[in-house]
């Protein structure tokens, strides 16, 4: 949530975001971030990064069609939410 009074902390499409060439209108929405077929990179708490296409997600976690660095399929990986540290979207 953007702080309305403290301009140093405002980042949601305000002057700080625009200085970096970004606009809040260009950012993905949470509702579409984990759509089936979205290419994401997941950083797990174990220190491993997994790249793959979202197959499904629910209250338990995220199911990925994982890929190796060359882009070849390596199988399906289920990651419980508790094991996920960060998720990055491609593009």
Q: pTM of the full predicted structure?
A: 0.67
Q: Count of residues for the chain? A: 91
CA atoms of 43 and 54, how far apart (whole Å): 14
- Tens-digit pLDDT profile for residues 20-34: 555 566 676 777 788
pLDDT band with cut points at 50, 70 and 90 for residue 52: very high
> Taking the domains of the chain in order of start, what are their residue ranges?
1-28, 34-89
CATH class of 34-89: mainly beta
Chain segment 7-19, per-residue pLDDT in tens: 444 444 444 444 4
pLDDT at 84 over 80: yes
Q: Say if residue 46's pLDDT is above 90.
A: no
Q: What is the per-residue DSSP string for 20-38?
A: TT--GGGSPPHHHHT-TT-
Write down the residue that tokens 């950083």 correspond to. 43
């Amino acid at each position: 949530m953007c702080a309305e009074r403290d301009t140093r902390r405002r980042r949601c499409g305000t002057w700080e975001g625009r200085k970096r060439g970004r606009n809040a209108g260009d950012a993905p929405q949470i509702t579409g971030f984990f759509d089936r077929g979205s290419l994401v990179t997941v950083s797990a708490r174990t220190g491993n990064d997994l790249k793959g296409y979202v197959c499904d997600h629910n209250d338990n976690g995220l199911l990925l069609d994982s890929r190796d660095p060359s882009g070849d399929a390596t199988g399906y990986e289920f990651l419980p939410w508790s094991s996920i540290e960060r998720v990055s979207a491609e593009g």
